[in-house]
Every structure is written in C-alpha cells, then in structure tokens.
Amino acid sequence: MFRVLRNISIVWTVLATALAVSAFAHGRCGTMQAVESWIENKGKITVAAKNAAESCDAEDYYDSVYSRTTAHFQIFYVLKGPHATTEKFVDSLAVNLEKAWNLHVTKNKMRSPKGRDTTVHYQKPVKQGLYGVEVLEINLVRSPRAVHGSSGFCEVCFAITNFSGRNNWQTSEMMIDNDFMVVDFYEPEYDTLDVGDKKCSYWKSTKPIIHATEKYSYAEKWDKAIRVTAFHELYHAVQVRYLSPYEHLNFWFEASATGMEEVGAPEVNDYFRYIPEFLEHTGKPLDENQSAYGASLFFLYLYNRVDSLFDKSIWENFAKNPDNSFRQQFASAVEARKKNPQDVFQDFAERLAYSGKNSKAVDSSAWYSPDQPFWKKVPYTFTLEGFRPDSSIFAYNYYADVFPDLENYTGKASVLLFKDGHARLRKISSMNTLDSLRSERFSADSLLWIFSRFENPSPLPGKFEAKPLRAYPTPWRHGNLCFAPLPLDKKFIEVRNRRGDLIFREKYDSETLCLDENFIKSKMVPGVYRYRAGSSGKTKDLMIIY
C-alpha cells in the first residue's frame, strides 16, 4: 500500500503516476478509472503485497467504526484519524442516498443496487437487504490497486462505486471521501499516527476540491458535494445491474450518471465543468466524443424532452443485447416510442444550438434545460459558399452564414435566422425550402446551419432535388436582387430588355449571385426584363418596380 513512503525515489514515482492519472480521473468519479485500468491490464491487477519497509496495516489508521442504518443503506464511518468524518456529514449522506434511491428505483423504476455482504475497507458485515456505503479517505483505502486500478490513486475523486469484479460485477459498494479534501501532489504533506510502538505514516489531504465554475470549496460546502455524489455513484450501482462494465464499457456509463446527478441535484451544477470539452468535439460521432461526462447534455435532452424513463429503456436494451452499440440501443428505444431516431437526433442538435448567448434569441420553451443560458455557446465553422456539410454517422455540426451545397445530402438540415436579437428556426425539407431562404438571408443578421446524420445514407426519403434557375424577389422593389441556383457550367448571367438589348452581364463563381439595390437602379428602369445564365437558351421574365 502507498501509505508509507520512506524512499524518495518511490515518492516521485508515485507522484508522476498520480499526475498522469489526474486527467483520466476527470476530477470526480473514480469508478470507471478503476474499470478501465482493469481492462488495460487485462484483469491482472491484484492486491499488492505489503512492502517490507511498511509496518502498518489498514486497521492502524482507524479505531471504532460506527454505522448508520436507513431504509436501504448501511453507512460505515469513523470519527477519529485520517478517515474521520462528522455526524452531520453522515446525516446529510443518509438523506441524500435515500433521495437517490427514490429517484432511480422508485420513480424511474430501475433495478435496485445489489450490495456486498462485507465492506471492503472497514471489513464490516452489511445487514441483509441493505446497500453498504463507506465514508473514508479515498486515497488511504485498503488494497488501493484493487480499488483504484494499477496506479493505486484517484487524485481528485469525490467517490467510487467499487464493483466486486468481473465474475460478480452486479454486486458493489459505494466509497465516499470523508471531507472532499485531496492530496496536493505538487507539495505533499505527511503525518504520522502512533499505534503502540509503531509510527504509521500517510499523505495528508490538504487541498480542497473546488467547484469548477462557482469556485467555492466542496470541503466547506460538503453538503453540495454529497448531493451530486449520491445521485451519481448510486446510478453506477444501478447500471451494473444491467451491463458488465468489464466486458462492455462505454461512454454512457458516465454520461448518464452525470446527467442523473443534475436531475437529482439541479442546484449544484457540477456538470458545467465538462461542457466546454464536450462541445469542442462537435462534428465527431457522439459515442466517440472524448468527454463522456459532457455527453450528459444528450442524457438531459432525452430525459427532459423525450421521456424520463428513456434511460431505463437504454439499459434494458443493453441487458438484452449487450454487444449492440449505444446507437443501436438508442434507436430501439426511440422506435419503441414510435418516433424516428434521425428526427430525435436532429431535434437534439437544434435545441443544443440554443445554448449560451443563443438562448436569449428564443423563448425558453425551445430549450431542453433551464441551464442552457449558462452553458458555453455551441461552436460553429466558418467556410465558403457552397460548402458540403460533414456527414459522419451519429454526429452533428454547426456552420455560420454562407449557403451550403445540399445536392445528394442525406442527413437532416435546419437553419437559425437571427434578426434583431431574435432567432427563427427553419427546417430544410427540400431544395424549394433552401431556395426560399436565399431571399430571407439578406434581411437576417446572421445564419446558423444545423446538420446531423444518424443512419447510413442509401437511400433516405426526402432526397434533395435541384430546382430551376429563378430570380427573387419578384417583382423587385428594393434590396438585393438574387439569382439561384446558377449552373456551374456557365460563367455569367445576362439581363436583356423586352426588345432583346443587353442590359448587363455579371460573372458568378457560386450557385447564387446577388446584386445590390444601387447597381439595379443604375442599370434598370421600371419595366419587364428577361434573364438567363450564359448567352444561349430560354429566358425568363423579371419585373422591376420602384
């Protein structure tokens, strides 16, 4: 165990390992860190033999162990030593664990957690039918490598749901940090306990865990940390009643647990810390996003806008078909509700676009979370006219202002038109819709295109079809006069009067050409004109009025 470190080279080896693990631990939940470490090491992580230089056992760091029993839990804790907590801490934990049970099991009808009969650290028997919870110093746990994984550390962890192993993965217990203080690995401090004739050394936890956005200390506001932790960690204990994380680990374990903590403790908003990283990976398949915690934004959409029991369906689908991908489980749950997965996925992308400052441009009924004004604004790509949107399966993208080329595009498309601080959503169902938007774009302050693709592309209904060249608005009175869609095999558009006299030719290099009001008035008096692309072929009528 790591608690006695007399050799300085060992200290720095452990420090380097801990620092490398810190990003992996994501700042709160060590549960999946331990599972991923087990997978990475192919299940070969075992309890390390005690170093010959170490003379202290786990029991030397605590004395009397107390327990608190509630309707569904038995909480074990101590009041002295490095594992010490307070009765008020345990009171709060007891209340919030029962609230979490009520949400997950009673309200959302999920399977109940299955607890161990003996706790891992304090080695105490758990009453039959209750779920065991230990309050302790997380990085002073018994058999740290068996709990945390190969590093033996979880640098900034609130808690861990510790599973009983590959062959008994449905059984677990919760370990929660006793004070939400962690070891400062850059400037570690040590302390010792006198146990008989032995001196037992350990690293002290001196650094408080800080709320990422509000910057308060969870060591001081531990009741808030308890609230999010109870809902998050107990959900891990629920998830493994359906699916083995050792055989089928996927991003939804953390995404749904983080989402559920927000459902249970919406006032804390600890999940805000993960949103920027999640949004930075817009354009990648949702199940490949590097921020599994940030994917809680998708969970919250499903919970709040589709069905509060939607995640129950996801985990039931995993239990029936554990080898299927999350995308397949999602599609099955959507179709069971007689909805189209692509439509639901596009609706998520559209409503996510109302995050940050964009939330003020629409009525709050368009949001899917009351927190959306506080999220980072979705990132969007600036590109050239006639761009082709990305079409990765199970991904969504945002583009700004210029018009896309949607010929043969097989996903879903929408656009937000911003004007005077307000936004209006238009769904693109055909090239006719796209064409009608060309005249509206010039009265809008900006555009935000929203694209998503859920399934394989061939064939999909509602394929976009090219439309004939037209001028708009017609009759023209003021503003820009536009021509679209322009054929790419031509180089210019020409306008003639009714006698056939050439009025002007204008070159173009994209499918749309727009001429401003001053140019039109300098070239054309009110009347009827004819236009076409190139110098041959049929012409069309255009009326000018001003």
Q: Do 382 and 452 reside in the same domain of the chain? A: yes
Q: Do 477 and 361 reside in the same domain of the chain? A: no
CATH of the domain at 502: 2.60.40.3080
List phi, psi (to 5°) of 372: -55, -35
Summarize pLDDT for 95-140 with one digit per residue, the tens.
999 999 999 999 999 999 999 999 999 999 999 999 999 999 998 9
Confidence (pTM): 0.80
Specify if 314 maps to a domain: no
Specify if 508 maps to a domain: yes
Q: Do 452 and 478 reside in the same domain of the chain? A: no
Residue 506 sits in which domain range?
470-544
- Domain boundary among the residues 213, 244, 268 is at 268
Question: Beta partners for 279?
Answer: none
Rounded mean pLDDT, 419-436? 83
Q: Cα separations (Å) of 435 from 303, 531, 537? A: 36, 18, 22
- Number of domains making up the chain: 3
Q: Cα separations (Å) of 103 from 65, 251, 263, 320? A: 29, 22, 9, 23
Specify if 3 maps to a domain: no
Q: Do 491 and 363 reside in the same domain of the chain? A: no
Specify if 321 maps to a domain: no
Q: Do 435 and 488 reside in the same domain of the chain? A: no
Summarize pLDDT for 193-242 with one digit per residue, the tens.
999 888 999 989 999 999 989 999 999 999 999 999 999 999 999 999 99
33 versus 428: which is more confidently predicted?
Answer: 428
Mean pLDDT lowest among 68-82, 108-122, 404-418 = 404-418
Spatial neighbors of 158 by CB under 8 A, at least 6 apart, are 28, 29, 176, 177, 180, 209, 218, 225, 228, 229, 232, 233
Specify if 316 maps to a domain: no
Mean pLDDT lowest among 105-119, 177-191, 517-531 = 177-191
Summarize pLDDT for 13-56 with one digit per residue, the tens.
333 333 333 322 335 576 766 666 666 665 554 444 343 335 69
How confident is the model at residue 32, as a pLDDT? 64
Specify if 80 maps to a domain: yes
| Cβ pair 389, 464 in contact under 8 A | no
CA-CA-CA-CA torsion sign (10, 84, 156, 298): positive
Rounded mean pLDDT, 468-481? 88
Specify if 430 maps to a domain: yes
How confident is the model at residue 368, as a pLDDT? 97
DSSP, res 304: I
* Pure H helices in 177-251: 222-239, 245-248
1 versus 314: which is more confidently predicted?
Answer: 314
28 versus 148: which is more confidently predicted?
Answer: 148
Verify cis geometry, omega within 30 degrees of 0, for the bond prior to 473: yes
- Domain boundary among the residues 435, 466, 497 is at 466
Q: Do 518 and 377 reside in the same domain of the chain? A: no
